A = this chain, B = another copy of it.
Amino acid sequence: IDGSYMARTTDYDVIILDHSLPGKNGVVVCEEIRAVGKAVPIIFLTVIGELHHKVDALERGADDYLTKPFSFEELRARVRALTRRPHKIEGIILRVGDLVLDAEKQTVTRGGIGIYLTRKEFNLLEYLMRNHGVVLSRGVIMEHVWNAEGDPFSNTIESHILNLRKKINIGRRKEMIHNVPGRGYMIDVA
């Protein structure tokens, strides 16, 4: 009894295959599963640069592929996309310290406590968290969080940063949104 046998006889929600499997080639397993008529979603893992493997896998019945290395979030996003179970499976989650942002559920918590953010605040925080540890200039933030170009003589960003900080720094926790004078803002644990 091996993985291929299990896959052909059991009903899984999703099957993840690696190209290099002990004994068999992942693509062959993929083909075997399809041969018995199973319609289960299959995600194929490939090493970066091996495009022909991706193509091969897709031709033999894989539904999606993922290039290694990949984050767990990314894999989960693919699984979610394939299984389309909106309420049971978690969405894309960003974490910085005990601050957690769920991009799909559109929620933010800190240490388990729910935090309500307005739309702009949410988008701003999401962008900061998505690039945590790197300094983001006002220009870059303006470009990504506000679609059009904002005039540099406004302090809209500062204003939102202020509100974000107030909402996020519940209790008397350390500041997470750091200003780097002359360069921009950065979110980080320390």
Residues of chain A whose beta carbon lies under 8 Å from any beta carbon of chain B: 13, 51, 54-55, 58-59, 71, 73-74, 76-78, 80-81, 83-86, 91-92, 103-107, 118-119, 130, 133-135, 144, 180-183
Contact = CB atoms under 8 A, between A and B. Distances in A.
B77 A183 contact: no
Contact of A86 (B13, B73, B80, B84): B73
**Tally of this chain's copies:** 2
A72 to B, nearest CB: 11
Contacts of A118: 181-182
Contacts of A134: 105-106
A85 B118 CA distance: 26
Contacts of A104: 73, 76-77
A65 to B, nearest CB: 8
13 contacts: A13-B144, A55-B55, A55-B59, A73-B104, A74-B81, A74-B85, A77-B91, A105-B133, A105-B135, A106-B134, A106-B180, A107-B135, A119-B182
- 8 closest residue pairs by CB, A with B: A119-B182, A77-B81, A106-B135, A77-B77, A74-B81, A55-B55, A105-B134, A80-B92
